């Protein structure tokens, strides 16, 4: 069976379901844009006094933020509901994914498609354009391709993290909580250049929770910045890291699922 | 050859002492205390194509756990299962296209979407051909009266409507086997009746093999020829239903609210078993006196403010079976 057309059909249903709650939908988009604009404003205020933070100027930091926001936007569109797997397990609705003749990971993934992320896209496109003009980034074809592959890598890294958090529900019946306690703060770290953090934190975001590859390392390539402690090519590794990390997450999720099949909870 | 074969299956759950709070969940990742819970113990049975089997037992007996093993959701701790020649937990996806499943307690439909959309999505998931889909939808619409709510979102359906939609959905792909876990739970009398007629029809017309669990003896009486009775995970009876019905299905209880709770009832075939304020419980044997006769007799001398007829609960049948040593005489192993 070909999963791609089926994915669009299932996802289409998810979108129509989401649009049943129009008010909540629009409020969320507005809320997100406002929140990110607020974050950008904070950066501006901070850098108004210091000119640069860890060698990063206001516009460079905006670029960093926009890159994080755009790949997070894509990521939550496809994967955000993974963090709520615990609810499905606890109220028993997860079983339905196991009595259907399609792959359960695929089925679960296609349950939702969060178009509310357009807020993220609007914000990041505006910022990319603004920054490109302000600091004259010259967008060659290669740079654009590099940016796109980086975004894909970032989506896979963050999506992988959501899948890992989701998988924890198979062992603990909790996942949403792990998202708010672990992933949410870790992700927020990456809104600023990692160079401002202690070496240990930088190592963790490179090798353990590889959020550094979502925006920081690739941005250093585009903006031509130094990466202390890391070789120069590190910024090119995002897609590779993304694929490996996501496969690892998928494997963990499937192991969790086979555990679920013997425990039922 | 039997369509379902179950040999000596066991299902043990290791129940963790759950910790509370977030730190508790973190801790429970590393270290937990377990208690072994034997939900299903050494159960075997085989079911022929076209049979309709009632799988019953009190709360916590292991009915849903068995169904989950048959559908491939759970892996048995030991023992073997074959459903239509397939081991469900090894080839779960393949098994899924051979079976229809309804869990009465929760819907399989898309909660926020008009009901018709769930059918359309399931058509894609199960790869039902256009022709087959159209044909099946017509039949189900007619018998189950789906038209009246096809455009209503599932979350706005009444329980009865939702259950009808759910069972139709489980049969879209013409599965030869249907598992129904409490398909009549929470339905009113009319809705129950509709549901039963439908189940009967698809069993008769399409030779669909049906296993259903229920707490309503009437479902069993009206639908099944055979029942498998389990208690505490073990099979206590497997066989003809008429024998059980004969013996236990006849005793009913009429609960009446009268003006005077002290009132006496002198009616042959009925006896007062309980009183509470102005409410009186009268047990009667259906063979000796019908409910309507009994009510008629009571109204001659008392004015009834309210009444209900209680069926013998499955739990009470099981406890009677224990008390009266039913199994020795009837278990056909
Ligand atoms: N995932 C699980 N983890 C631990 N124990 C479980 C799990 N699922 C079921 N049990 C236990 O196994 C036993 C059998 O449960 P099951 O749901 O099969 O009962 P049932 O016969 O369907 O009952 P009911 O009539 O109430 O639906 C119960 O004691 C239940 O608490
Ligand atoms: Mg049950």
- The confidence score (pLDDT) of residue B327 equals 46
Percentage of chain B exceeding pLDDT 70: 91
Beta carbons of A172 and B99 less than 8 Å apart: no
Q: Is residue B169 part of a domain?
A: yes
Q: Is residue B324 part of a domain?
A: no
pLDDT higher for B289 or B99? B99
- The confidence score (pLDDT) of residue B313 equals 60
Distance (Å, whole) CA A248 – CA A259: 17
The pLDDT tens digits for A125-135 are 999 999 989 98
Q: Is residue A263 part of a domain?
A: no
Pocket test for ligand 1, best of B37, B180, B217 (most atoms within 8 A of CB): B37
B55 phi, psi to nearest 5 deg: -110, 105
- The confidence score (pLDDT) of residue B328 equals 45
Q: Is B187 in the same domain as B273?
A: no
Q: Smallest Cα–Cα separation from B75: which of B96, B91, B61?
A: B91
- The confidence score (pLDDT) of residue B135 equals 95
Q: Is B286 in the same domain as B188?
A: no
Tell me if chain A has a CB within 8 Å of the CB of B273. Answer: no
pLDDT higher for A48 or B12? B12
- The confidence score (pLDDT) of residue B173 equals 96
Write the DSSP assignment of B174-215 as a string of letters. --SEEEEESTTTT--HHHHHHHHHHHHHHHHHH--EEEEE-S
Beta carbons of A261 and B111 less than 8 Å apart: no
* Residue ending a domain, choose from B245, B271, B291: B245
Write the DSSP assignment of A189-227 as a string of letters. HTTS-GGGS-HHHHHHHHHTS-GGGTTHHHHHHHHT---
- The confidence score (pLDDT) of residue A161 equals 96
* Residue ending a domain, choose from B230, B245, B260: B245
Domain that includes residue B22, residue range: 4-245
B302 — pLDDT class (breaks 50, 70, 90):
confident
B317 — pLDDT class (breaks 50, 70, 90):
low
Answer whether residue B52 shows pLDDT above 50.
yes
Q: Smallest Cα–Cα separation from B213: which of B7, B55, B88, B106?
A: B55
Q: Is B131 in the same domain as B101?
A: yes
pLDDT higher for B311 or B281? B281
Cβ neighbours of residue A91 under 8 Å, at least 6 residues apart?
Answer: B106
B323 — pLDDT class (breaks 50, 70, 90):
low
The pLDDT tens digits for B129-184 are 999 999 999 999 988 989 999 999 999 999 999 999 999 999 999 999 999 999 99
Provide the domain count of chain B: 2
Cβ neighbours of residue B289 under 8 Å, at least 6 residues apart?
Answer: B267, B268, B269, B270, B297
B319 — pLDDT class (breaks 50, 70, 90):
low
Answer whether residue B332 shows pLDDT above 70.
no
Could you identify the atom of ligand 1 that is nearest to the CA of residue B105?
A: 27
ipTM, two decimals: 0.86
- The residues lining ligand 1, judged by C-beta closer than 6 Å to any ligand atom, are A 263-265; B 13, 15, 37, 39, 57, 59-65
CATH code for the domain in which residue B85 is found: 3.40.50.300
B53 — pLDDT class (breaks 50, 70, 90):
very high
Q: Is B147 in the same domain as B134?
A: yes
The Å distance, Cα B64 to ligand 1 centre, comes to: 7
Q: Is B88 in the same domain as B147?
A: yes
Whether the CB-CB separation of B19 and A173 falls below 8 Å is answered with: no
Residue spans of chain A under pLDDT 70: 1, 264-265
Q: Is residue A43 part of a domain?
A: yes
Q: Is B157 in the same domain as B288?
A: no
- The confidence score (pLDDT) of residue B217 equals 81
Q: Residues with beta carbon < 5 A to ion ligand 2?
A: B 64
Q: Is residue A265 part of a domain?
A: no
Domain that includes residue A134, residue range: 4-258
Provide the domain count of chain A: 1
The mean per-residue pLDDT over the stretch B2-16 comes to 93
Q: Is residue B326 part of a domain?
A: no
Q: Is B217 in the same domain as B257?
A: no
The mean per-residue pLDDT over the stretch B305-323 comes to 72
Q: Is B42 in the same domain as B178?
A: yes
Measured between CA atoms, how close is A261 to chain B, in angstroms? 4
Query: Which pTM was predicted?
Result: 0.85
The pLDDT tens digits for B13-30 are 988 776 777 777 777 777
Q: Is B211 in the same domain as B187?
A: yes
Answer whether residue B69 shows pLDDT above 70.
yes
- The confidence score (pLDDT) of residue B172 equals 96
Cβ neighbours of residue A162 under 8 Å, at least 6 residues apart?
Answer: A75, A79, A80, A82, A83, A179, A183
Pocket test for ligand 1, best of B55, B64, B104, B232 (most atoms within 8 A of CB): B64
Q: What is the mean pLDDT of chain B?
A: 88
Beta carbons of A10 and B127 less than 8 Å apart: no
Smallest-distance ligand from the CA of B65: 1
Residue of chain A nearest B67, judged by CA positions: A99
Residue of chain A nearest B94, judged by CA positions: A101
């Amino acid at each position: 069976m070909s999963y791609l057309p089926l994915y669009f059909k299932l996802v289409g249903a998810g979108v129509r379901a989401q649009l049943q709650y129009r008010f909540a939908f629009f409020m969320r988009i507005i809320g997100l844009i406002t929140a990110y604009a607020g974050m950008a404003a904070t950066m501006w205020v901070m850098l108004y006094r210091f000119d640069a933070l860890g060698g990063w100027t206001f516009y460079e930091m905006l670029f960093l933020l926009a890159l994080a926001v755009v790949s997070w936007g894509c990521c939550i569109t496809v994967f955000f509901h993974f963090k709520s797997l615990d609810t499905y397990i606890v109220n028993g609705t997860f079983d339905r994914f196991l009595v259907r003749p399609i792959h359960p990971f695929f089925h679960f993934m296609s349950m939702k498609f969060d178009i509310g992320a357009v807020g993220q896209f609007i914000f990041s496109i505006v910022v990319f354009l603004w920054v490109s003009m302000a600091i004259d980034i010259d967008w060659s074809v290669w740079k654009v391709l590099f940016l796109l592959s980086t975004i894909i890598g970032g989506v896979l890294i963050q999506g992988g993290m959501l899948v890992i958090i989701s998988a924890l529900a198979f062992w603990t019946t909790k996942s949403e909580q792990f998202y708010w306690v672990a992933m949410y703060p870790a992700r927020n770290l990456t809104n600023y250049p990692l160079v401002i953090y202690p070496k240990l934190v930088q190592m963790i975001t490179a090798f353990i929770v590889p959020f550094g590859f979502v925006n920081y390392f690739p941005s250093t390539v585009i903006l031509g910045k130094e990466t202390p402690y890391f070789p120069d090519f590190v910024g090119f590794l995002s897609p590779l890291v993304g694929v490996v990390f996501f496969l690892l997450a998928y494997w963990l999720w499937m192991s969790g699922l086979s555990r679920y099949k013997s425990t039922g909870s | 050859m039997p369509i379902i074969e179950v040999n000596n299956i066991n299902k043990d759950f290791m129940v963790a002492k759950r910790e509370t709070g977030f730190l508790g969940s973190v801790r429970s990742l590393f270290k937990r205390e377990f208690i072994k819970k034997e939900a299903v113990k050494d159960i075997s049975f085989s079911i022929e194509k076209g049979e309709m089997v009632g799988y019953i037992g009190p709360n916590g007996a292991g009915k849903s756990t068995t169904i989950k093993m048959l559908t491939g959701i759970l892996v048995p701790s030991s023992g073997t299962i074959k459903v239509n020649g397939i081991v469900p937990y090894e080839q779960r996806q393949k098994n899924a296209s051979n079976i229809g499943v309804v869990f009465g307690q929760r819907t399989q439909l898309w909660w926020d979407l008009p009901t018709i959309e769930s059918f359309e999505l399931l058509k894609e998931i199960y790869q039902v051909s256009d022709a087959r889909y159209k044909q099946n939808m017509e039949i189900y619409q007619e018998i189950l009266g789906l038209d009246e709510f096809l455009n209503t979102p599932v979350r706005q359906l009444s329980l009865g409507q939702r259950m009808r939609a759910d069972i139709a959905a489980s049969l879209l792909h013409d599965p030869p086997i249907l598992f129904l876990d409490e398909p009549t739970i929470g339905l009113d009398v009319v809705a129950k009746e509709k549901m039963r007629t439908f189940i009967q029809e698809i069993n008769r017309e399409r030779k669909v093999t049906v296993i259903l669990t229920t707490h309503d003896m009437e479902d069993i009486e009206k639908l099944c020829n055979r029942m498998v009775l389990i208690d505490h995970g073990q099979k206590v009876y497997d066989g003809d239903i008429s024998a059980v019905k004969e013996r236990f299905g006849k005793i009913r209880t009429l609960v009446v609210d009268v003006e005077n709770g002290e009132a006496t009832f002198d009616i042959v075939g009925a006896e007062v078993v309980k009183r509470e304020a102005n409410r009186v419980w009268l047990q009667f044997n259906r063979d000796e006196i019908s409910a309507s006769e009994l009510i008629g007799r009571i109204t001659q001398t008392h004015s009834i403010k309210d009444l209900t007829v209680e069926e013998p609960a499955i739990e009470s049948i099981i406890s009677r079976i224990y008390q009266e040593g039913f199994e020795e005489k009837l278990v056909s192993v």
